[in-house]
Amino acid sequence: MQRSSKENYQKDKLPFTSLEIPPALKSANFSCFVIGESLSFFGSWMTQIALVWLVYQLTNSAVLVGVAGFTNQAMGLIITPLVGVLLDRWNLRYVLLATQLVSILLSTTLTYLTIGNNINVTWIIIIGTLQGIVKAFDLPARQVIIPRLVEKKADTYSAMASHSFLINTAKFVSPMIGGFMIARTGAASCFLVDAISYLPFLSAILTIQIKQVTNQSLTQKSQIWQNLKEGFVFAYQFLPIKYVLMLQVIICFMAMTHVNLIPIFAKEVLQGNAETMGFLMTASALGSIVAGLYLISGQKALILVKIIAFSSTILGLSLIIFSRLNKLEFCLLIIFIVGMTNTMTLASINNFVQLVLVEEDKRGRVTSIFTTGFLGILPFGNLFFGGLAGQIGVANSLLFGGICCTLGAYFFARQMPIIKKVVEPIYADMGLMNQPNK
């Protein structure tokens, strides 16, 4: 008996050595969904890489590359909050089926136009805009459905952490394979793979079992704007969600935009080339994988708030240090930490929101507000920091973003006692208070 306690202690202290499968992945229902989803993300990220390369090849203009990226993302800020109301009304299975079918059509169209040498920037912007509209429905729907796939509420954290890890893994692998395919066979092959990658997810959507939720607050279909207002009021008045969403906006605007500055940093500060940029991007992506491994290794629901505060602080400080470096070896180490803490912060915020959101009839709306931070805030942050880098230089722009991120983390840390007081009863109702944190 004494030996068993010691083994459990060691298991808690060394989560990376444990071979235990996360509880949510033991569910065939959830595993079927998340594996199919990961494959579809693999294809979609490959398409994003190929589109950037294709626009630059066609125009040799960094400005048009930025415009194409902006049109793909900016639709999120316009329609995503409204999408949340619709997701709380509609059948999520049908929503996801529709978004996958439209995505297949768009990727197939890109493949056809590229193979026939009929592709141009106008077509890319039009299709990119349509992809942005689809994404505004698709990404929140994927998030909303996850808590409804697990049998026990206590497995919600495990499900969200597993979801984040598999998605980040797909994000890590797709640039390497996508770059190889573009070099060997051209961008059309990436678009074709993307179209095919949605098929396993379609199969998963058709076979999974989804818990039914009665949304009594949305029975009056004509009150769509009132329903939208209810979502924003709830997110503002429920202090734990309010504070983490405020931090998320700061991270997306001030810190996550560092990705777009890395090519400029590699060329102007490190005096490098595309290979240098590739090393930096790979190191950052590897950090994301490590963050996902940490979050998936054990039950960390009770310490999510601490993880958010700590990782966002380290993220800001790491950006500050990175902005002062000019040696590739040191930059690789620090950008690894930046990638790790950036992913850890945003994934933990997402996991926390889904965990403490007990009012199912508002899950779609609150999730859409969270998604707006990615699809809406990020492109404006990219535009802002692109202009700022032109005025004060890329290194000083990264320094400014790091300082703002650190200040945001400090403000969030001061709210932790309030957050803890509100969420502890929720954790108790979910049966999490007696579970060990690893």
Read off the pLDDT of residues 162-181 as tens digits, 9 standing for 90 and up.
877 777 777 667 766 776 78
Residue 11 maps to a domain: no
- Low-confidence winner among 12-21, 214-223, 297-306 (lowest mean pLDDT): 12-21
According to DSSP, residue 25 is labeled G
- Low-confidence winner among 27-36, 337-346, 363-372 (lowest mean pLDDT): 363-372
The pLDDT of residue 246 is: 92
CA 4 to CA 197: how far, in whole Å? 45
If asked whether residues 280 and 142 sit together in one domain, one would say no
pLDDT, one tens digit per residue, over 269-315 is 888 876 777 688 778 888 888 888 888 876 777 888 999 999 999 99
- Phi then psi for 116, rounded to 5 degrees? -85, 5
The domain boundary, picked from 209, 243, 262, lies at 209
Give the number of domains in the chain. 2
Q: Is the pLDDT of residue 199 over 80?
A: yes
If asked whether residues 61 and 204 sit together in one domain, one would say yes
Residue 344 CB neighbour total at 10 angstroms: 25
**CA-to-CA separations, 206 to 196, 344, 415, in angstroms, rounded:** 17, 31, 43
Residue 15 maps to a domain: no
Residue 375 CB burial class (10 angstroms; 0-12, 13-18, ≥19): buried
295 sits in which H/E element:
helix 274-296
If asked whether residues 199 and 255 sit together in one domain, one would say no
Note whether 308 and 398 are within 8 A (CB). Answer: no
Six token digits for residue 334: 């620090």
If asked whether residues 405 and 331 sit together in one domain, one would say yes
CA 376 to CA 380: how far, in whole Å? 7
Residue 266 CB neighbour total at 10 angstroms: 23
pLDDT, one tens digit per residue, over 239-261 is 898 999 999 999 988 988 787 78
Tokens 């409804």 correspond to: 148
pTM: 0.73
CA 328 to CA 272: how far, in whole Å? 9
**CB pairs under 8 A, 24+ apart, for 118-121?**
119/54, 119/58, 120/58, 121/55, 121/58, 121/59, 121/64, 121/68
Q: Is the pLDDT of residue 375 over 90?
A: no
pLDDT, one tens digit per residue, over 24-71 is 777 888 888 988 988 888 888 788 777 877 876 787 765 666 677 677
Q: How confident is the model at residue 384 (pLDDT cuts 50, 70, 90)?
A: confident
The pLDDT of residue 232 is: 78
If asked whether residues 336 and 191 sit together in one domain, one would say no
Nearest one of 315, 342, 343, 305 to 437, comparing CA atoms? 305
The pLDDT of residue 170 is: 74
If asked whether residues 147 and 270 sit together in one domain, one would say no
The most confident of 84-88, 341-345, 425-429, by mean pLDDT: 341-345
Per DSSP, the three-state class of 195 is: helix
Residue 410 maps to a domain: yes
DSSP string across 132-192: HHHHHHHHHHHHHHGGGTSSSGGGHHHHHHHHHHHHHHHHHHHHHHHHHHHHHH-HHHHHH
The domain boundary, picked from 209, 242, 260, lies at 209
More confident of the two residues 270 and 159? 270
CA 147 to CA 155: how far, in whole Å? 8
Six token digits for residue 395: 């290194």
Six token digits for residue 101: 């079918």
If asked whether residues 192 and 244 sit together in one domain, one would say no
If asked whether residues 252 and 183 sit together in one domain, one would say no
Residue 179 maps to a domain: yes
**Helix, strand, coil in percent for the chain, rounding step 5:** 85, 0, 15
Q: What percent of the chain has pLDDT over 90?
A: 26
Six token digits for residue 425: 């009863």
If asked whether residues 282 and 144 sit together in one domain, one would say no
CA 389 to CA 397: how far, in whole Å? 6
CA 205 to CA 235: how far, in whole Å? 29
Note whether 394 and 166 are within 8 A (CB). Answer: no
If asked whether residues 31 and 100 sit together in one domain, one would say yes
- Phi then psi for 3, rounded to 5 degrees? -65, -40
CA 68 to CA 64: how far, in whole Å? 6
At 112, which CATH number? 1.20.1250.20
Residue 65 maps to a domain: yes
Q: What percent of the chain has pLDDT over 70?
A: 84
What residue type is assigned to position 139 of the chain?
Answer: L
Nearest one of 74, 412, 401, 71 to 254, comparing CA atoms? 401
If asked whether residues 300 and 188 sit together in one domain, one would say no
Q: How confident is the model at residue 417 (pLDDT cuts 50, 70, 90)?
A: very high
Residue 170 CB neighbour total at 10 angstroms: 20
CA 185 to CA 183: how far, in whole Å? 6
Q: Is 393 left (phi over 0), alpha (psi -120 to 50) or beta?
A: left
Residue 214 maps to a domain: no
Residue 218 maps to a domain: no
- Phi then psi for 14, rounded to 5 degrees? -125, 70
Q: Is 206 left (phi over 0), alpha (psi -120 to 50) or beta?
A: alpha
Residue 220 maps to a domain: no
Structural domain boundaries enclosing 143:
25-209
For 417-430, what is the mean pLDDT?
87
For 378-403, what is the mean pLDDT?
85
If asked whether residues 336 and 391 sit together in one domain, one would say yes
What residue type is assigned to position 72 of the chain?
Answer: N
The pLDDT of residue 316 is: 96
Note whether 404 and 251 are within 8 A (CB). Answer: no
CA 57 to CA 51: how far, in whole Å? 10
